[in-house]
Amino acid sequence: MRLFIGLTPPSAVRNAIADERDRLHVSLGGKPTTTANLHLTLVFIGEATVQTMQRLCHLLSRIDMPRFDIGLDRAGDFKRGAIVWLGCSAVPGELATLAETLRQALTDAGIPFDALAFAPHVTLLRKGQPVAETLASTIHWPVDSLVLYASESTPDGVRYRPLFHRPLK
């Protein structure tokens, strides 16, 4: 299975992100992320065995971090529009610390992951146009849990299935 650890927006936040996705889709084109799949990746692990999945659940259950808020306030892109995303103009310290804590825990456990620099974003569109804009209003996202996801291919496209939730304090 293909695994990653991420954040799931609460439904009101998910709907606000979906509204921005729909607005940007009109001007930028591309293939929209389905509303159910909207998320923020903290660490991408990739192909893993059931045993590694179980170790990840155990590892997550021992992560002891506080809740925090993310303010999504800008739209941008990677690779000239290949990925169009929402992100934050200033990454909250707690978010960076959380990603770093997870990476350190995985390193200590000997579980390999994609070590690319952490660039927190919610993917809205793929194969769109470049964009750089500040949102008219910031989307406030209260983060209260971590999620271990499986990325699965289905006849209807990719689906990110939550496997395990770890509440924050």
Binding footprint of ligand 2AM on the chain (CB under 6 A):
4, 41, 44, 83, 114, 123, 151
- The backbone torsions φ and ψ at residue 155, rounded to the nearest 5 degrees and listed phi first, read -60, -25
25, 121, 140, 165: the catalytic one is 121
Q: Taking the complex as a whole, how short is the minimal distance between the CB of residue 169 and ligand 2AM, in angstroms?
A: 25
Q: Taking the complex as a whole, how short is the minimal distance between the CB of residue 116 and ligand 2AM, in angstroms?
A: 6
Catalytic site includes residue 121: yes
Distance between start and end Cα atoms, the chain? 29
Catalytic site includes residue 140: no
| Closer CB to ligand 2AM, 16 or 41, in the complex | 41
| Closer CB to ligand 2AM, 69 or 114, in the complex | 114
39, 58, 140, 165: the catalytic one is 39
| Cα 127 to Cα 64: distance, rounded to the nearest angstrom | 37
Quick one: CA dihedral 41, 102, 147, 56, positive or negative? Answer: positive
CB atoms within 10 A of CB 67: 12
Is 22:163 a contact under the CB 8 Å cutoff? no
| Closer CB to ligand 2AM, 66 or 115, in the complex | 115
Is 161:149 a contact under the CB 8 Å cutoff? yes
| Closer CB to ligand 2AM, 59 or 84, in the complex | 84
| Cα 7 to Cα 160: distance, rounded to the nearest angstrom | 11
Q: Taking the complex as a whole, how short is the minimal distance between the CB of residue 106 and ligand 2AM, in angstroms?
A: 13
Q: Taking the complex as a whole, how short is the minimal distance between the CB of residue 151 and ligand 2AM, in angstroms?
A: 5
Point out the residues that are catalytic.
39, 121
